[in-house]
Amino acid sequence: MANLFVVTGGAGFIGRNIVAALNERGEDDILIVDRLGTDEKWKNLLGLKFDDFIDIDDFRSGINAGALKDVKTVFHMGACSDTTERDADYLLDNNYAYSCDLCSWCVENGIRFIYASSAATYGDGSQGYGDDEAGLDDLRPLNMYGYSKQLFDLWAARNGMLDRIAGLKYFNVYGPYEDHKGDMRSVVHKAYGQILETGSVGLFKSCRSEYADGEQLRDFIHVGDAVAQTLWLHEHPEVSGIFNCGTGRARSWIDLARAVFAALGREPDIRFIDMPEHLRAKYQYFTEAHMEKIRARGFEHQPLSLEDGVRDYVVGHLAR
């Protein structure tokens, strides 16, 4: 009987939290696939229970050789998530080709395949934020990272996979175990460090007249809520397709900064800085997940509010 869970990117942010959540459910027959490199990402493995750890290249060779057996579910979270990465060939291999190979292997072997897409596929939002798969071709991502994710969504749709697999378009996820992500850390993590160091938080000025400085809007979701939806899709293999993963409510960067100050018991001191030139044409001013589709399939979990989620993260993790 298949009983092995595979979590690619299992030492990364969302992947690590998936492994921890599986452990909380009494599951430790888990294969973690990742590449640790020379940073501090290895620390995310501390305290986790898992059967084995394998490098990405060895894993890809293993599935191609048919060496892996008794796999129940693959949570494919492994990808380059750097929205400023410019090596398009690397992104095509790591985010697209790898996903195609792994998805094909799972479908051929009757293995549940749950993968990370991204809200970056929506681009500037001019086509809306509905996760109806009929609109995939109309999306225009603003960066190569988003395009690499969209390419796999399109490949899965074109090859008739979406009635057998499940993808999640994660919006702005924040929470424990993102320390290794460098500049790709959430603004919650960055703001916490800025407040401790300087007493203030710097937010980008707006370059569009319809948005005041700091009033750019995002759908921020705590990683615990993102994991809850991810595991729900594992528990409901009859539910397939691509789904948004957010709260369904856009909030401003000012709201987020104030929530961090409140969690620290400090009065807000927010300052506005110029947006770097290289980001201006690729910046999303508004994101908000439409959650009706997954709700209609039976997903009832209610996410934390921004204030409660930030407080949980700051007080329960960062301050410790």
In this structure, the chain runs to a length of 320
In this structure, are residues 314 and 264 in contact, taking their beta carbons and an 8 Å threshold?
A: yes
Q: Among 98, 145, 147, 313, which one carries the catalytic annotation?
A: 145
Tell me the residue type at 241: G
User: Is 181 known to be catalytic?
Assistant: yes
In this structure, are residues 232 and 18 in contact, taking their beta carbons and an 8 Å threshold?
A: no
Give every CB contact of residue 104 below 8 A, 6+ residues apart in sequence.
Answer: none
Distance of CA 103 to the CA centre of its chain: 18
Q: Which residues of 85-117 are buried (b: 16+ CB within 10 A; e: fewer)?
A: beeeeebeebbbbbbeebbebbbeeebbbbbbb
66/63 Cα distance (integer angstroms): 5
Helices 187-198/253-263 angle, 10° precision: 50
Closest CA to 178 of 16, 8, 6, 7: 16
Q: Among 72, 181, 190, 205, which one carries the catalytic annotation?
A: 181
187/114 Cα distance (integer angstroms): 27
268/92 Cα distance (integer angstroms): 42
- Percent of residues in the chain assigned helix, strand, coil, to nearest 5: 40, 15, 40
155: exposed, middle or buried (Cβ count in 10 Å: 0-12, 13-18, 19+)? middle
113/39 Cα distance (integer angstroms): 29
Which residues belong to the active site?
Answer: 145, 181
